[in-house]
Amino acid sequence: VFVDGVPMRTVWFAPHGEDVVEVIDQTRLPHELAVVRWSTLEDAARGIETMQVRGAPLIGVSAAHGVFLAMAADPSDGALTDAIARLRRTRPTAVNLGWALDVVEAELRPLDPVHRKEAARVLAERLADEDVEACRRIGEAGLPLLLDAARSDGRIEVLTHCNAGWLATVDWGTALAPIYRAHDDGVPVRVAVSETRPRNQGALTAWELAGHGVPHRLVADNAAGHLLAAGEIDVVITGADRIAANGDVANKVGTYLKALAARAHGVPFVVAAPCSTIDLACPDGAAIPIEERSGDEVRLVAGTTWRGGVDAVRIVRGDTPVANPAFDVTPAALVTAVITERGVVPATTEGIASLFDR
């Protein structure tokens, strides 16, 4: 994408051969566009845990960059083992993390340690480029599904949840990729962006869509049922953090409620994700680990203060007990189709398996 006319990705190596990784600090968005520099493995691991970077594909690619930082400091076998173990522990639900670390381990382990740092850099860049290409293809493959949902006058009203745009990947995004494609082709598409409490990733989606000139409106999470019942939504499209072998989909908490409401009102519910989000080792959604995050994410709300800085305010007593599951599972039966870079398949065991014998 271009931000203020400048081409931008979410993660990149600092220029001039420095052993530094730079990422957009998503904890500051949409209030300010800040770049944070990671110099160590621990910077990368903490950056993933605290959600400076987030979104399943971006977590995987960022972890690969983290391994580069570890190899720059110490390319030994032991350091490689420790780096991969540290990064694997950062976030449990998005399988792209484990997928990327498996690729990195398989490529770096057999190498002589003197070559590991350079190989890790090349590999992280390759994974980033492949992610961009996968998202571009998802946009292409998903476009016909969006067009199928169009009204007689050609307009399309889409509902999305969380942020599955370029900020959640390296560029383009997953769920937002077909929307960007449609918009760029002149299709009149408008997006209802659900807020996505507690971390308000909907604010990231609204920021992205505004930057690209895509018409949208931010809606409270609780408004989705009403909008669907009122016939205001033609198609629901979300990303995914892990898709099980039977087509069950783990995504940001609140996705399941939207899928239920979409089914009740006969509206297609579509999931867009690269094949690196599919976990054939997970037979169904019950096997997907669901991340439980800090209760303070629910007790506090962050925003811009009247002084202009970013701050958080507490909306309940500080000792209020909280449950904060960060993801939920939408059963395959509620998913109309899965859009991947290899094509569109039904959310069934056969449909998912067919992606891997092409």
SS3 label, residue 254:
coil
Nearer to ligand MRU, 251 or 336 (CB): 251
Q: Which single residue is written with the structure tokens 């962050």? A: 302
Task: Tell me if 169 contacts ligand MRU by CB under 6 A.
Answer: yes
Contacting ligand MRU within 284-323 (CB under 6 A): none
Instruction: Give Cα 173 distance to the centre of its chain.
Output: 7
Amino acid identity of 299?
R
Give CA–CA dist 274/134, Å, rounded. Answer: 6
Nearer to ligand MRU, 59 or 123 (CB): 59
Task: Tell me if 56 contacts ligand MRU by CB under 6 A.
Answer: yes
Nearer to ligand MRU, 238 or 336 (CB): 238
Concatenating the DSSP letter of every residue in 294-332 gives: -THHHHEEEEE-TTSSEEEEE-S-TT-----B-EEEE-G
Contacting ligand MRU within 259-288 (CB under 6 A): none
Which residue among 240, 282, 332, 352 contacts ligand MRU (CB under 6 A)? Answer: 240
Q: State the nearest-atom distance from the C-beta of 305 to ligand MRU, in Å.
A: 24
Give CA–CA dist 203/199, Å, rounded. Answer: 9
Amino acid identity of 169?
T
Q: State the nearest-atom distance from the C-beta of 211 to ligand MRU, in Å.
A: 17
Contacting ligand MRU within 1-40 (CB under 6 A): none
Which residue among 98, 239, 254, 268 contacts ligand MRU (CB under 6 A)? Answer: 239
Nearer to ligand MRU, 75 or 208 (CB): 208
Give CA–CA dist 157/233, Å, rounded. Answer: 5
Q: State the nearest-atom distance from the C-beta of 18 to ligand MRU, in Å.
A: 27
Q: Quickly list H helices, 149-242.
A: 176-184, 201-212, 224-229
Nearer to ligand MRU, 55 or 75 (CB): 55
Task: Tell me if 202 contacts ligand MRU by CB under 6 A.
Answer: no
Q: State the nearest-atom distance from the C-beta of 28 to ligand MRU, in Å.
A: 14
Task: Tell me if 224 contacts ligand MRU by CB under 6 A.
Answer: no
Nearest residue relative to ligand MRU (C-beta): 239
Q: Which of 58, 10, 53 is nearest to 277 (CA)?
A: 58
Give CA–CA dist 289/147, Å, rounded. Answer: 35
Burial class (CB in 10 A: 0-12, 13-18, 19+), 99: buried
Contact flags string 93-122 toward ligand MRU, x per CB under 6 A: -x----------------------------
Concatenating the DSSP letter of every residue in 98-143 gives: HHHHHHHHHHHTTS-HHHHHHHHHHHHHHHHHHHHHHHHHHHHHHH
Give CA–CA dist 60/96, Å, rounded. Answer: 5
Number of residues that bind ligand MRU (CB under 6 A): 19
Which residue among 23, 41, 43, 57 contacts ligand MRU (CB under 6 A)? Answer: 57
Q: Which of 285, 299, 297 is nearest to 335 (CA)?
A: 285
Catalytic residue list contains 241: yes
Which residue among 24, 45, 162, 237 contacts ligand MRU (CB under 6 A)? Answer: 162
Q: Kindly report the CA angle at 11 between 7 and 13, in degrees rounded to 5?
A: 95
In sequence order, what are the residues at sequence separation of 6 or more whose Cβ sits closer than 8 angstroms to the Cβ of residue 43? 21, 37, 69
Catalytic residue among 131, 171, 241, 328: 241
Which residue among 48, 63, 101, 168 contacts ligand MRU (CB under 6 A)? Answer: 168
Which residue among 241, 248, 328, 341 contacts ligand MRU (CB under 6 A)? Answer: 241
Name the one range near ligand MRU by CB under 6 A: 120-128, 166-174, 258-266, 316-324. 166-174
Query: Could you give the residue numbers annotated as active site?
Result: 241
Interaction site with ligand MRU (CB under 6 A): 54-57, 94, 162, 164, 168-169, 173-174, 201, 238-241, 251-252, 326
